[in-house]
Amino acid sequence: MKRLFSLTVTVVIGNILFAQNVDQGRKLLYYERYKSARENFEKTLAANPNNIDAVYWLGQTLLEMPNKDSVAAKDLYQKALATNGNAPLLLAGIGQIELMEGKANDARQRFETAITVSKGKDINVLNAVGRANVRAKAGDANYAIEKLNLATQVKNFKDPETYIILGDAYRKIIDGGNAVTSYNKALTLDPKMASAKTRIGRVYLTQNNPDYFLPAFEAAVQLDPAYKPGYFELFYYYYFRDVNKAAGYLDKFIANADPGPEVEYLKTDFLYASAKFGEARDKAQSLVTQFGDKVNPRMYRLIAYTSDTLADMQVAKQAMTTFLAKPGEEPILPADYEELANINSKIPGSEPEAFVNLQMAVEKDTVVENKVKLIQKGAALAKRLGNRKEEANWLGVAYRIDKNPNQNDLYNWGYANYQAGEYKTADSIFCTVYQSKYPNEIFGYLWCARSREAQDTTWASGIAAEPYDKLATMAIQLDSAKYKTQALNALFKLVVYQNDIKKDKAAAITYLDRVLAIDPTNPDAIRIKDILNKPARPAPQQAKPKPKTTASTGIKPKTSVKK
C-alpha cells in the first residue's frame, strides 16, 4: 500500500510539474519570448513525448517565431498524430497547417472532427480552432467567431484568451467595434491582461487615433511591466518622432526580451533612427556576416538606406537589390522600390532602371494619392533627364488615376506632350479636354492652336486655321487687355494663311479688319491692308511676261505665351 501510494503521489506530482511547464511555456509565448518558450516546450517533451499540450504549443511557438517555421510545426504535428490520431488539439494544429497550405476543405474537416471528439465542450480546442482560422491567411474569421462564441457558452467559462482570439477574429473582418468589446471582456476576466490593452491600442492605431492608442499602449505596460509587446508599440511610435523617448522604451523592451538576433536588429534600426548612419551600416553588415542566409533581410534594406545617405550608391544599389530578391518574413513595401529608384537616379547610366522601379512601386501601392505622388516623381525625373516623352507618359498616368486632378495637372500633361513632339496627343488634350473643363482659361485655346500648327508647319492642310480663329475670339472675350497680344498674333497668322495659302484677299482683309478693331493704329495691319487693297499694276507691253504672283504680307507673327 505504501508503494502504491508513493507511486500515485509521484504520478500526480509529475503531472502537476508537466502542467506547470506547459503553463510556463504558454506564459513565455504570451510575452512573445519565443526562444524561451520553445526551449521550455522542448524540455517538457523530452521528459514526456506524449504530452499533447506541449506538442500543440510547441507547434504554435514555431508558427509564431520570427522565421515562422511551418515545416517544423507540420512535421511535429504529423508525428504526434501518428500515435495520437484522435487528439483534438493536434487535429486543430494540423488543420491550421492545412489552412496555411490553402487546403481549406481538409482543414475544416479537421476542425469539425476535433470539436466532435471533444463534444464541443473543450474550451482549449475551440480556442485552437478559432486561433487557426484567425492566424492563417486562408482562415474563415466568421467560422472562428461562431466557434469562439460556442466556447463562451461552456459551463463555468472564464478564459480571457477566448475573448482575445475573438477580438482578433473581429479585427480580421475589420470590425473594430466588436474587437474592442471582446478585448474589454477579456480584461473583465483578467484585469492585468496587458495583451488585451495592447490589442485595443492596435485597433485605434489602424484608425490613426493617437489620443486613444497611446494611452492604451501605456496602460498595457503599466498593467504588466514585463509585457514587451507593449514596449515595442511605444518604441515604434516614437522611433519616427522622438528618439529620446524611443530609447527608453527600447531599453525596457530589451530588458524583457530573450537575447538574440531580433534584439540586435532593433538596436541596429535605432542607430539609423538616431542618425548614426555609419554605425548603423557597420552593425548591419556585421549581422549579415554573422548570420549569413539566416539574417533578417531588412538588414540589407538598412544597408541600402544608410549607404544612400552616405553617398555610397553602388553599395546601396547592391544591398537594396539583394533585399528585394530575398524571400522572408520582412514584407516588401512600395517605398522599397521607390528607394531603389532614388538610388538608380543617382547612378549615371542607371536612370532607366529608376522608371522600372517606380512603376513597381506604383503597382504595389494601394493608395491612389501615393500612386499619384510616385508617378509625379517619375515625371520629374524624366523632365530632369530631358526625356519629355517619358515625362508626358508619367503625367498622363497620374492624371488618369487621380480622383481630383486640377488644371495644372492637365496643362502639364498636355504641354509635356507638346514638348515631346507628340502633337496629336497634345491636340486632343488641349482642343478637347482642357477647353471643355476650363472654357474660361486661355491656355486650352492657345495650345490647341499651336499643337495643330505644329502638325502642319506649312499650313497647307489648314488644320490650324479654325483653332487660331477661336483663339482670337476667346482672347478678346476672356480679357481683351490681358490677351491682346495672343489675339493679334492669331489674326495675323490667319491673314497670312488666307492671302498666301488660300489666295483669298477678301478673307485676309476681313482678318485685318478684326486686328484694327482691336488695335486701330496697328501699323502692320494698316500697311498690309493698303497693299492688299491696291489694284495689281498692269505689266509693261515690252517687258517679258512674269509668272502671276500674289502679294505676300511679309509678316512673321510672334509667339509669346507660356503658362
C-alpha pair distances (Å), 400 with each of 245, 430, 434:
43, 15, 14
Predicted confidence (pLDDT) at residue 548 exceeds the cutoff of 70: no
Task: Show the cell assigned to 45.
Answer: 517533451
**Are the beta carbons of 314 and 346 closer than 8 angstroms?**
no
In a domain, 233, yes or no: no
Number of H-type helices and E-type strands within the chain? 30, 0
pLDDT tens digit string along 212-222? 999 999 999 99
Residue in 174, 183, 109, 106 with CA at minimum distance from that of residue 141:
174
In a domain, 328, yes or no: no
Predicted confidence (pLDDT) at residue 556 exceeds the cutoff of 60: no
pLDDT for residue 240: 86
Higher pLDDT, 562 or 474: 474
**Are the beta carbons of 70 and 108 closer than 8 angstroms?**
no
Higher pLDDT, 104 or 85: 104
Q: Compute the average pLDDT of residues 490-498.
A: 95
DSSP 334-391: HHHHHHHHHHHHTSTT-HHHHHHHHHHHHHH---HHHHHHHHHHHHHHHHHTT-HHHH
Predicted confidence (pLDDT) at residue 3 exceeds the cutoff of 50: no
pLDDT tens digit string along 517-532? 999 999 999 999 999 9
133: exposed, middle or buried (Cβ count in 10 Å: 0-12, 13-18, 19+): buried
pLDDT for residue 20: 59
What domain range includes position 460? Answer: 434-534+550-563
In a domain, 50, yes or no: no
Predicted confidence (pLDDT) at residue 546 exceeds the cutoff of 70: no
pLDDT tens digit string along 424-441? 999 999 999 999 999 999
Predicted confidence (pLDDT) at residue 550 exceeds the cutoff of 50: no
In a domain, 387, yes or no: no
Predicted confidence (pLDDT) at residue 545 exceeds the cutoff of 80: no
Q: Compute the average pLDDT of residues 198-208.
A: 95
Tell me how far apart the alpha carbons of residues 346 and 306 are, in angstroms, rounded to a whole number.
15
pLDDT tens digit string along 229-239? 999 999 999 99
Please report, as a single letter, which amino acid is at residue 348.
P
pLDDT for residue 559: 45
Predicted confidence (pLDDT) at residue 4 exceeds the cutoff of 60: no
In a domain, 223, yes or no: no
Predicted confidence (pLDDT) at residue 459 exceeds the cutoff of 80: yes
CA angle 459–463–467, rounded 5-degree value? 110
Higher pLDDT, 227 or 563: 227
DSSP 8-state assignment for residue 433: I
pLDDT tens digit string along 330-372? 788 999 999 999 999 999 999 999 999 999 999 998 888 898 8
Higher pLDDT, 13 or 321: 321
Tell me how far apart the alpha carbons of residues 330 and 323 are, in angstroms, rounded to a whole number.
9
Tell me how far apart the alpha carbons of residues 464 and 431 are, in angstroms, rounded to a whole number.
11
Please report, as a single letter, which amino acid is at residue 172.
K
In a domain, 358, yes or no: no
Predicted confidence (pLDDT) at residue 551 exceeds the cutoff of 70: no
Question: pLDDT band at 8, cuts 50/70/90?
Answer: very low
When divided into structural domains, the chain yields a total of: 1
pLDDT for residue 536: 65
DSSP 8-state assignment for residue 331: P
To the question of pTM greater than 0.85 for the whole model, the response is no
Predicted confidence (pLDDT) at residue 17 exceeds the cutoff of 80: no
How many residues are there in the chain? Answer: 563
Q: What is the CATH number of the domain that holds 528?
A: 1.25.40
For the chain, report the end-to-end CA distance as a whole number of angstroms: 105
In a domain, 555, yes or no: yes
Q: Compute the average pLDDT of residues 161-184.
A: 97
| Average pLDDT over all residues of the chain | 90
Report the percentage of the chain scoring pLDDT > 90.
Answer: 79
pLDDT for residue 544: 55
pLDDT tens digit string along 257-282? 999 888 999 999 999 989 999 999 99
Report the percentage of the chain scoring pLDDT > 70.
Answer: 91
pLDDT for residue 9: 37
pLDDT for residue 129: 97
pLDDT tens digit string along 32-69? 999 999 999 999 999 999 999 999 999 999 999 987 88
